[in-house]
């Protein structure tokens, strides 16, 4: 699957260290581990993060800001994420 995602003006309510992005209906990612990167704006702070896949029958990826698992900033309408991923599904 080739997936291009652009989220702008999004809100983060909990401020946890990972944001889960769900795959389109009926898609299950098969790869386990870090599978790519993305660019982000976290409440006005820009950076490049990591996409993590749990493999198996999971239907989502988790987006981490960095290897240190720094928390996302809780904000209203001030988070942006852009990625272009290619991965295997079942």
| pLDDT tens digits along 11-56 | 998 778 999 988 877 777 788 889 899 999 999 999 999 999 987 7
Q: How many domains does the chain have?
A: 1
Find the domain containing 66 and state its range.
Answer: 2-86
CA-to-CA distance for 33 and 44, rounded, in angstroms? Answer: 28
Per-residue pLDDT at 63 exceeds 90:
yes
CATH code for the domain of 19: 2.40.30
pTM: 0.87
Indicate the pairing of strand 18-22 with strand 32-42. Answer: unpaired
How far apart are alpha carbons 35 and 86 in whole angstroms?
A: 9
């Amino acid at each position: 699957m080739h997936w291009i995602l652009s989220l702008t003006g999004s809100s983060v309510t909990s401020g946890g260290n990972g944001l889960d992005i769900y795959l389109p209906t009926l898609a299950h990612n098969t790869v386990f581990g870090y599978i790519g990167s993305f660019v982000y704006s976290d409440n006005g702070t820009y950076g490049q993060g990591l996409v993590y896949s749990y493999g198996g029958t999971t239907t989502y990826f988790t987006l981490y800001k960095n290897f240190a698992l720094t928390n996302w900033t809780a904000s209203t309408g001030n988070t942006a994420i852009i990625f272009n991923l290619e991965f295997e599904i079942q």
